[in-house]
Amino acid sequence: MTQLNWTVIKVPDANLILPDCVAISVGVSENRWIPHVLGSEVENIEQVLLPISTNQLLVGRRDLNRRVEFEKFNRFAAACSAEFFVSPINTAAIASYVADIGKESKQNILSIARNSVEQLGKTSCLESTIEIPGEIKVTSANIQDKTGISFPVSFPDSVDRESAEKIASVIEAIVCELAKIMPLNRIESVVFTANCPEIIQTIDKRFLISQLLEPIEEEHSVGLATAHVMIIDEKVMSSIISSSWLGQALLNPENEDLFQTALHVLVTLLAGISFIELVDTTLPDSLIKPLEDRWSGILFKHIYNACSSYFCARTSAGCKPNKEDWYRDQVIIAFRHAKEVIPNARLSYRHDGDLDSFLEFAIKNIGDALSCAASLIGHCDGLGKSFFGDEEQVTKILDELGLKKWIYVYQRDLEKIFSKQGKWTDISELTALNIHVERLLWQFSVFPWLMDTGQIKVEIPLAVDMEDLQKTA
């Protein structure tokens, strides 16, 4: 930054806004405005703009003769904001900038990935070694210098060395970029393979976490990509295991749909690993030690997954904006499935009296629905869109279950967890969302409550199943 000429410029009546990225970089060649925290290298920066009041701008310029485009600042500041901007006034003009929030910041990962592909072959910062016959392991020579992060990228099968190095180079660029906005120190390894299930079986089961965390999966299919969570040297770590085609898709930005899909999967998994680190460092041992309250522990497993799903979907939203319809379909499927199977399981409980099995089944299905809803809400929050969209089926299924107004409360609580990421003071801030599992249980006439003795009592009124019981009597 010492290469720039710095000065404070007064801009009367400008009503400058403050973006959440604080400072904005203007490129040398393209005149592109981007968040400075996600900016280019110094040599590619022409100007850095930072508002210090509503009518004063701290400006760093490489060329003192180049004009500062003050009239464009507010709109570009909004576009460079990831989630919000701050303004001391609320006029129609200021309000109009809300629609621009995220337009630049959410496209930056896509641009970084594309640029890294374009740069392949021009420079090389990777070293390759053969670890075992048939396996190529690529390690970065400078990613640790840039971020303090170090992990191998391995290719056990179906890829040549040149492709392996190119894929690893793209992974490096994406991780370096994401590491500027979220912690990524818990990546143990990245593996691209033609046979995910077989590779997963080779993971040392002694290190896998079983109490709370489960594999982070994208597209709900281990066949596509998964991140296995484990404990290594008393640290919660995660290893990404992905299908080979996903790595190849990262090298083909001309196929826009496949490229965005691959990038979205990768960023989703990396965001899940980041969320693990945020929780584990802010609330030590909360991920690996059972909660004292057994009932809270049972529910929290699903709420953790929902919070993680929201974080992942919101973080990766800009990588594949048109994913929202897919998320809506998953919400419809999950809630319709719960609506069908939970009453049937409740009726079975009337006959076998196995309350624990029924609760486990009902809570799992509710947890799946909550995670699907969290993904949809997170994705749409990340894009500044309504999660209902034009899809009437989402409204319909929530109406059928009496949950249309509830979904807004759920959105508010998820956003609250997201906005305090890394600043939580107690696990109770997360377990407070357990009420949403109970809220959905109510819709199936299952009413749990905590007794003075510390035990949980569950009431399931017989009347709700009386008609069906009489039919089978």
Domain boundaries, the chain: 5-103, 104-283, 290-473
pLDDT confidence of residue 105: 58
Asked if 59 and 9 count as a contact pair (C-beta separation under 8 A), the reply is: yes
Average pLDDT for 154-162: 82
- List pLDDT tens digits, range 337-356: 999 999 999 999 999 999 99
Asked if 311 and 381 count as a contact pair (C-beta separation under 8 A), the reply is: no
Most confident range, picked from 54-68, 266-280, 458-472? 266-280
pLDDT confidence of residue 327: 94
CB atoms within 10 A of CB 356: 9
- List pLDDT tens digits, range 365-423: 999 999 999 999 999 988 878 888 776 889 999 999 999 999 999 999 999 999 898 89
Average pLDDT for 24-30: 71
Class of residue 367 by CB neighbours under 10 A (exposed 0-12, middle 13-18, buried 19+): buried
Q: Can you read off the two tokens belonging to residue 195?
A: 């046979």
Strand partners, 86: 18
CA pair distance 452, 264, nearest whole angstrom: 47
pLDDT confidence of residue 102: 64
The DSSP secondary structure of 195-226, one letter per residue, reads -HHHHHHTS-GGGB--SS---EESTT-TTTEE
Between 245 and 307, whose confidence is greater?
Answer: 307
Q: Can you read off the two tokens belonging to residue 56?
A: 């004063």
* Statement: the pTM of the whole predicted model exceeds 0.85: no
CB atoms within 10 A of CB 283: 16
Q: Can you read off the two tokens belonging to residue 425?
A: 């003071």
CA pair distance 235, 281, nearest whole angstrom: 10
